[in-house]
Amino acid sequence: MLRITSTLLRAVSLRTLESNIATVSGASACLTQTTSISPNTGIAFTANKPPVRYYAKGKDKKKDKKGSPAKVQINEEQLNGLIDLDGLRAQMEKSLTTMKEEYVKNLSLRSTTGSIETLRISFDGKDYQLQELGQVVRKNPKTIVVNLISFPQTIPAVLQAIQRSGMNLNPQQDGTTLFIPVPKVTREHREGLARNAKALYIKCRDRIKDTQNQSIKKLKKQSGGGEVSEDDAFQAQTQITAIAEGFIREAEKIMELKQTELLGDK
């Protein structure tokens, strides 16, 4: 009789266990249930535990592609209401144009009469092109002659400008005449020009950033005076920075192309 009762009790316990497991499966989205069986009675007990939320680790999060700049949408209508957007772009474009002009004038593999003629000479507080101060002619394939008889007082400034032109020139003075030997295109000369290309790019980049910072400074002043809300000022600063970065990227591409041209095949 005791054996029959024990067998029936275990059968009931097993059915109860199966029922509890089915219930747990149906409610798994809400609660985690733990089922245990008493060693003395053989009766199953079910305990509820609070749900657990798992957070992704930082290393598993998706990262932006390395080097990809964040895209900022420019709201021209809003920006125009806060700053002189056309003036801002014009100033940045001017810096880029100046760099391009300096590349053409100062980064030629072979010194030409034209590149010498258009050299900028600073004299007496003003800037002149060399051709405005003297006559520039190519005497032969290896020599360029500059006659400064009309403005001999400018000779020191002209000598300095030629030496600092980045064209690897070493002028020789004879009275009011300058003789400029045209150097051979050596590997060292190419590398020097490539370094000058980067230096001119850095100047351009810094001018663009100066324009950016001046504009942001005005915005902060307006925000501090209550003329512009902090949110609008922040959004405008982000857009101004994005515009500047666009010009800087363009300047960098021009520099890289110029360096490739100057260095040629290694």
Q: For residue 144, give both structure tokens.
A: 């360029």
Going by pLDDT thresholds of 50, 70 and 90, the confidence category of residue 172 is: very high
Distance CA 135, CA 55 (A): 76
Count other C-beta atoms under 10 Å from residue 174's C-beta.
Answer: 8
Distance CA 233, CA 210 (A): 18
Burial string for 144-161 (b: 16+ CB within 10 Å, else e) reads: bbbebeebeebbebbbeb
Residue 1 scores a pLDDT above 50: no
* Secondary structure element (H or E) that encloses residue 237, with its range: helix 230-263
pTM of the model: 0.56
**Contacts made by residues 157-161, CB under 8 angstroms, sequence distance 24+:** 157/121, 157/122, 157/123, 158/121, 158/130, 158/133, 158/134, 161/119, 161/120, 161/121, 161/122, 161/130
Question: In this prediction, what percent of the chain has a pLDDT beyond 70?
Answer: 71
Per-position DSSP letters for 95-155, written without gaps between them: HHHHHHHHHHHH--SS--HHHHHT-EEEETTEEEEHHHHSEEEEEETTEEEEE-TT-GGGH
The per-residue pLDDT for range 190-231, each reduced to its tens digit, is 898 899 999 999 999 999 999 999 999 988 888 777 777 888
Handedness of CA 66, 68, 69, 74 (dihedral sign): negative
What per-residue confidence (pLDDT) applies to 39? 46
Q: Specify the range with the lowest mean pLDDT, choosing from 122-136, 146-160, 192-206, 210-224.
A: 210-224
* Secondary structure element (H or E) that encloses residue 177, with its range: strand 177-181
What is the distance, to the nearest Å, from the Cα of residue 114 to the centroid of all Cα atoms in its chain?
A: 34
Residue 32 scores a pLDDT above 60: no
Tell me if 171 sits within 8 A of 146, measured CB to CB. yes
Does residue 212 sit in helix, strand or coil? helix
Residue in the structure block whose two tokens are 């053409």: 104
Higher pLDDT, 76 or 196: 196
Residue 98 scores a pLDDT above 70: yes
Higher pLDDT, 81 or 39: 81
Does residue 48 sit in helix, strand or coil? strand
